[in-house]
Amino acid sequence: MTPRGAATALSPPGVLFAVLGLALTTAPVLTLAANRIVTGQGARAWELPGATTGLSGLFAVIAGLLLGLPAAWPRVRLAGAGLGLAGLLWLLTRGASALLEGAGEYARVSPAAGFWCLLVILLMLLADALAQMSPGPRLRAVLLAAGLAALGAVLASGALADLSIAQEYFSRADAFADAALRHLGLAFGSLAAAACIGFPLGIYCARRMRMRDAVLPVLSFLQTIPSLAMFGLMIPVLGWVGDSLPGARALGIAGIGFAPAFLALVLYSLLPVVGNTVAGLAAVPAAALEAARGMGMTPRQRLFRVELPLGLPVLLAGLRIVLVQNIGLAVIAGLIGGGGFGTFVFQGLNQTATDLILLGALPTVLLALVAAIVMDILVDLARPSGRGTPPPPKTPKAEAPA
């Protein structure tokens, strides 16, 4: 392809996003309902009250999709995704306030299917443009911080206060803060417990073939148990422990609540931690181990100075799997009284209140997305190419014979 042809070539994903996005601009972007329970009536962008409210936002979305077409200009594609997201935000904020005028005291405005589909398409365009630019881990960290800061500024400004999901949040602000702490405790606490158990177990399995052949099938079997069944199995087990052991209930161990959810998440986390520890240690080049032996390193020194540093990217990849998995699975804890964002999800299902479901689902998705990006950055930084050229190893001191 000539340089001129390469400059005018279209991005295949950009074409797909543009076609789907342009088709979805005809779908309703907002829904107006008489109250929080009844089904609302959808409103397309050009049907929103006000002469320019819907058309200006719609124009920004279309322009953003078209800017995502050139394959050779990833920064233009990135700017197009940002313009499209800004257009969606404009439709959300200005359209909600326009629809609520004179609609009644209990009227609610929610994002409609067209909004959510366009949001997904523009986020995919954003991710595709970033992947094309291949930013380093530090630049990705800066972009993530900038994105979170922009999201925080929008939420703090009160621009989304007219939306029904914001109304659900305002009526449950204290419960939301408690659910957030519980969710973080379940996800990160189970990750820490699994790491404390899984890393030593993985190192031992890497050293003993028989141990590995016995442990990994058991952990694989635990992973095949459906999540609802696993949470349910913990109820009688911990209920018996709480009733039988003195002081167990004082520590919070009971058939329902935080403890069974926490234990189920720990059991689910062990296979990725142990498996990746074994794989990380097995991936260490034999030449590096031989060189360490030649330098007189003891097995302990080889483990901490050679094997664990070289296997760190694989170990961190296992923790990334566990963290993202546990953030999602912690939602089920709401079903057995364990708290977390799942409480709102199941309350919304019982009340047929979609906005209450979204109040629990959206922060879960955001938390999982941020955790995945942060762990990806850490994995890249742990690779030798991400850390630069490592300094030469120091010659260990000779140990006195026992």
Task: Tell me the per-residue pLDDT of 322-332, one tens digit each, with 9 for 90 and over.
Answer: 999 999 999 98
d(CA 260, CA 253): 8
Whole-number pLDDT of residue 176: 94
Q: How far is CA 7 from CA 2, 11, 64, 73, 74, in A?
A: 9, 11, 19, 8, 11
282 Cβ contact partners less than 8 Å away, ≥ 6 residues apart: 206
Which 8-state DSSP code applies to residue 32?
E
CB-CB contact of 98 with 142 (8 Å): no
Residue 278, strand partner residues: none
**Residues 6+ away with beta carbon under 8 Å from 98:** 48, 49, 50, 53
**What distances in angstroms separate CA 310 from CA 86, 284, 343, one per listed residue?**
43, 6, 41
How would DSSP label each residue in 37-65?
Answer: SS--EEE-GGGSSSSSHHHHHHHHHHHHH
pLDDT of residue 388: 44
pLDDT digits (tens, 9 = 90+) for 316-359: 999 999 999 999 999 988 888 888 999 999 998 888 888 899 99
33 three-class SS: strand
Q: Show the low-confidence residues of the chain (pLDDT under 50).
A: 388-402
Of residues 353, 327, 321, 352, the one with CA closest to residue 342:
327
Q: CA 320, 326, 327, 331: dihedral to nearest 10 degrees?
A: 170
- Determine contact, residues 138/190, Cβ cutoff 8 Å: no
pTM: 0.84
109 membership: H or E segment, kind and range: strand 108-111
- CA distance linking residue 369 with residue 362, whole number of Å: 11
| End-to-end Cα, the chain, rounded Å | 70
Distance of CA 379 to the CA centre of its chain: 16
- Distance from C-alpha of 90 to C-alpha of 57, rounded to nearest angstrom: 6
- Token look-up 């004179």 returns 102
Residues 6+ apart with CB under 8 A from 186: 258, 261, 262, 265, 326, 330, 333, 338, 339, 340
